[in-house]
Structure 1
Amino acid sequence: MLETKQNILVLMADQLTPFALSAYGNRVTKTPRIDALAREGVVFESAYCASPLCAPSRFSLLAGKLPSNIGAYDNAAEFPSETLTFAHYLRAEGYRTILSGKMHFCGADQLHGFEERLTTDIYPADFGWTPDWQNPDARPTWYHNMSSVIDAGPCVRTNQLDFDDEVTFTTRQKLFDIARERNAGRDARPFMMVASLTHPHDPYAIPRKYWDMYADDDIDMPSYRDSLDACDPHSKRLRHVYEADRTPPTDRQIRNARRAYYGAVSYVDDQFASILEALEQAGLADDTIIVVTSDHGEMLGERGLWYKMTFFEGGCRVPLIVHAPKQFNARRVPDSVSHLDVLPTLVEFARGEAPQSWPDSIDGRSLVPHLRATGGHDEAIGEYLAEGAIAPIVMIRRGRFKFIHTSVDPDQLFDVAADPFERENLAGDERHAAQVAEFRAEIARRWNLDALHQNVLKSQRRRHFHFAATTRGTIQSWDWQPHVDASQRYMRNHIDLDDLEAMARFPAVEH
């Protein structure tokens, strides 16, 4: 049995590739707080998101389900309210469930099991960012383009800095509020809190403090930069959709983008450090499990690709660190695991054991055997159904190999252990013909790709029409509006001054 009812703090970054962290072998970036968590915790060396795009990845992380099983096709797909998330499960176990920061919920439900949400989201909650597979040559005006790379460099402020500073502030304040409420005997429940930053997501702009932490000579350049002609078909479509074919960056621009990205990674580390400082000061650290992850990776110019949207390692691999030194010895797990596995893991943390039955099906498996070094699985499954695709793309990672399949492009098979940069596609090698056939048979059992393709197209058509209709006349927003009751904050005449000061001071003064 695990020690139950521990607090759980999920520290989440956006578009943070593990290859930019020293805990995963990077020799450039400076991330002392994440490094310390990794030294004392369990580091999953081969963790994958379920879809290399913000919203589908986050919905799958929360629900423990593949995107196609919840309709989480792209960044403008509605997250159905009936979908159970780990916030629902932990709330049912008696936890306070709290969210601060980005989660990219689309639709009217902006809580999805969280009892409290401390900030708005940085991204819109409507259907305006719906892709259009029936018009694959169009470049969406709202989507990534290469300005993030071309204009990379130092800045004073950005909207992302405004947002993440708020996330850090509200998270710290809530930790202190929790401590004060416990001290006053008002709410002794354990908490599960997600603090979700939007850095180091592009655009690659960061204050001078973080830019100057690195020098040009420190910055490693992409290991391989494929020409457009040498790209696989999906990579060509990606380079078209974000205009890398039209405005390829110079070496100077690539270096600037990577330098600013590394600076943003250090900024993330500082925000995590500030949150963990508050956790310690509030007296909550010894009873809190910390989980560090990101929604997906970042290609950073490798193969001529940027951002994510690909099942190459840079796009779909994620950091995953579990820090609970009183329960799990520090170790590194080489097996491939998935974001889908987080929900059953958190539920087991809360209950002390896996449920005998679930109120709904899930696609993940608990990571507790890996954390205890008693076994565990070695498999990650992924789907990509958004921009740059013209049909569903699926991925299976098991053992040494990764298999990527879509009906419109040639198969890809990589021996990731021997070929970590995925330079040699083994799918056409006769020596691997039987293995390819096995993977294709498994895909046929797991998915009806033709039906999934039609479901995606139908959903896109509905959402395009929905957005066009609901942006005529008076527009009613789904965006989350945080509620703050000013009558209960700071000094108010209906609260006795001594009582107010005593409640607000932490730790309490002993008389």
Structure 2
Amino acid sequence: MRNVVLLCLDSVRKETFDAYADRLADRSALTFEQCRAASSWSAPSYASMATGDLPHEHGVHTHDTHVTGIDRSETLFGEFESHRTLGVSTNVFAGSAYGFDSFFDEFVDVTEAHRFPEGLDPVAVRSESDRTGPGVYLEFLRAALGSDHPLSTLANGGVGVLDSASENAPIPKLFDDGARAVTRTSRTLIDDTEEPFVLFGSFMEAHTPLRHLRGFDRSLHSASNTFTTADRTVWELMESPEEHREFLETRREVYGASVDYLDRVIAKFVDWVQANTARETTVVVTADHGENQGYAFEDGLVRHKSSLSEGLLHVPLVVVNPPEGYPETEDRYVSHLELRSLLAGMARDEVIDPTSDRIVAEHVGMSAGPEPPGRTEHWDRLMRAAYDGTTKYVWDSQGARIEYELDPDRPCWQRRVDDATLPEWATDRFDAEAYAYKRRALAEQTASSSADGVDEGVQDRLEKLGYV
């Protein structure tokens, strides 16, 4: 039995990965050039990767972001009865707050204030305290000194304070969004595991808000130390992208630098895994979804709101040390819906063909976050996409039907051709009509906010990421 490591880079589109992730590309023996995410933002995408189901089938989407209704036996991780399942995540939607930890034997949440998981979480200590002002810090110090791991707890507190201070100072941000903590914690979990293992890790460095980080390559972008994408709302950028052209260009540069940084950190981790695991270990790197960057061919859209553009769906999928028998490059379509069977097969040292001539994707609702200033129903619609060769069909719950032309040699690009007549095979893949399912999902909505039912620390993180 092989070990399997699945590493997910949040918000990394294929085009940018190809341009900046040279180290991972060099280490990969198998590249799927035409991989598509099953949905356009984290909560439904991770659920689809785990289950092999579309959002309307597994039920995780804008109107219910929790995976607690999904049993582990129905997921990718339930395929590995002979393996120990390990998870380390910086993504709140792929974390314990939303039930994602229930899929694993051992799971660790990493946040900016909790980079050393063996220590106490300063935000949790603060949340449980009745004190204000300096009294909170004294109570944290007392809790740290009385904990099982006082040095790690104090380190969490110190890093958290410095990280917050550097966010608003005219200096590079001092600490990353958890990438080094994820790889460090993953090494510890692997060292403590004797049986075959499956490790899941998520990385948030390419997710907004973006700004210059101390570890970024300064030659890759022109942003000042005070530049931050948090200065402009997604709605401002999409309303008039030409007015924000210089800002968007700088944003793209910093985004590229973030992918370069991830490439360096993860490549070192991949090298460590290959050198320090007794069994053969296959490492799979992908992204939960991509990111719109305001280009004309993606209708000036920014971030990952209410879209099934190629910038969002065309994501990297590379494999380090696959079982023998796979080609170096696969040019046919592969959907994240097939990750479950692909990884399970690789763990058994089998060659699995996950490719297809036709694939589909879906999102239900706007995605978590503040509502737009107008046209709320438009942004909150259900959208579906179907691929067939160089043709892509997109339709929604408001009656739009659009055909796009794709170019296999231009990642993340699409060109609108005309209003579409949907082929029967595309609509047959969905067992619920778009408008009817969207109306039902909205009526059955279990959470009015993505922050409902989560603790203060998770709410702070969601607010920083623009989801609240």
Normalising by structure 1, we get a TM-score of 0.65
For 1:210 and 1:198, locate their aligned partners in 2 and report how far apart those are by CA, in whole Å.
14
- The correspondence of residues 265-280 of structure 1 with structure 2, limited to 5 A, is 265-280=259-274
Indicate the residue corresponding to 2:34 in structure 1.
Answer: 46
1:463 aligns with 2:447: yes
For 1:101 and 1:162, locate their aligned partners in 2 and report how far apart those are by CA, in whole Å.
11
1:20 aligns with 2:13: no
Indicate the residue corresponding to 2:199 in structure 1.
Answer: 193
CA contact (8 A) 2:395 2:401 kept: yes
**Displacement of 1:439 after TM fit?**
4.5
CA contact (8 A) 2:49 2:339 kept: yes
1:454 aligns with 2:454: no
| Aligned partner of 1:348 among 345, 349, 359 | 345
For 2:43 and 2:443, locate their aligned partners in 1 and report how far apart those are by CA, in whole Å.
19
1:119 aligns with 2:109: yes
Indicate the residue corresponding to 1:181 in structure 2.
Answer: none
1:378 aligns with 2:351: no
- Which shifted more, 8-17 or 300-309? 300-309
Choose 1 or 2 for highest CA Rg. 1
**Displacement of 1:413 after TM fit?**
0.7
| Aligned partner of 1:442 among 415, 427, 431 | 427
For 1:418 and 1:289, locate their aligned partners in 2 and report how far apart those are by CA, in whole Å.
27
- 1:282 partner amino acid: N
For 2:379 and 2:244, locate their aligned partners in 1 and report how far apart those are by CA, in whole Å.
26
3-state DSSP of counterpart to 1:9: strand
> Deviation string for 1:325-370 (max 9, x for gaps)?
55144422111111110001122233456xxxxxxxxxxxxx8126
> Deviation string for 1:73-100 (max 9, x for gaps)?
128512134432211221x2x1010001
Indicate the residue corresponding to 2:417 in structure 1.
Answer: 425
How many percent identity over aligned positions? 21
CA distance 1:344–1:425, change in 2 (3 Å): same
| Aligned partner of 1:98 among 86, 90, 94 | 86
| Aligned partner of 2:352 among 368, 378, 384 | 368
> Deviation string for 1:221-272 (max 9, x for gaps)?
xxxxxxxxxxxxxxxxxx9963325674533312221111111001111221
- The correspondence of residues 66-465 of structure 1 with structure 2, limited to 5 A, is 66-74=54-62, 77-83=65-71, 84-90=74-80, 92=81, 94-103=82-91, 104-105=93-94, 109-120=99-110, 155-157=172-174, 161-178=176-193, 187=194, 189-214=195-220, 216=222, 242-245=235-238, 248=241, 250-284=244-278, 287-303=280-296, 304-309=300-305, 310-351=307-348, 368-369=352-353, 376-387=355-366, 389-417=379-407, 421-427=413-419, 436-439=421-424, 442-443=427-428, 446-460=431-445, 462-464=446-448
3-state DSSP of counterpart to 1:200: coil
Ranges in structure 1 where 5+ consecutive residues have no aligned partner = 124-150, 179-186, 218-238, 354-366, 371-375, 429-435, 480-511
Corresponding pairs, count: 374
CA distance 1:119–1:331, change in 2 (3 Å): same
For 2:450 and 2:324, locate their aligned partners in 1 and report how far apart those are by CA, in whole Å.
49
For 2:78 and 2:192, locate their aligned partners in 1 and report how far apart those are by CA, in whole Å.
22
For 1:14 and 1:294, locate their aligned partners in 2 and report how far apart those are by CA, in whole Å.
5
- Which shifted more, 307-316 or 201-210? 201-210
| Aligned partner of 1:33 among 13, 23, 34 | 23
For 1:122 and 1:308, locate their aligned partners in 2 and report how far apart those are by CA, in whole Å.
23
CA contact (8 A) 1:11 1:292 kept: yes
For 1:44 and 1:319, locate their aligned partners in 2 and report how far apart those are by CA, in whole Å.
7
For 1:302 and 1:268, locate their aligned partners in 2 and report how far apart those are by CA, in whole Å.
24
**Displacement of 1:118 after TM fit?**
2.5
CA distance 1:391–1:177, change in 2 (3 Å): same
For 1:108 and 1:444, locate their aligned partners in 2 and report how far apart those are by CA, in whole Å.
28
CA contact (8 A) 1:293 1:318 kept: yes
Displaced runs of 4+ in structure 1, greater than 6 A? 465-468, 475-479
Normalising by structure 2, we get a TM-score of 0.71
CA distance 1:56–1:418, change in 2 (3 Å): closer
Indicate the residue corresponding to 1:503 in structure 2.
Answer: none
CA contact (8 A) 2:215 2:261 kept: no
> Deviation string for 1:371-398 (max 9, x for gaps)?
xxxxx42222111112163332111112
3-state DSSP of counterpart to 1:19: helix
Aligned-residue Cα RMSD (Å) equals 3.3
Ranges in structure 2 where 5+ consecutive residues have no aligned partner = 114-167, 224-231, 367-377, 460-468
CA contact (8 A) 1:216 1:255 kept: no
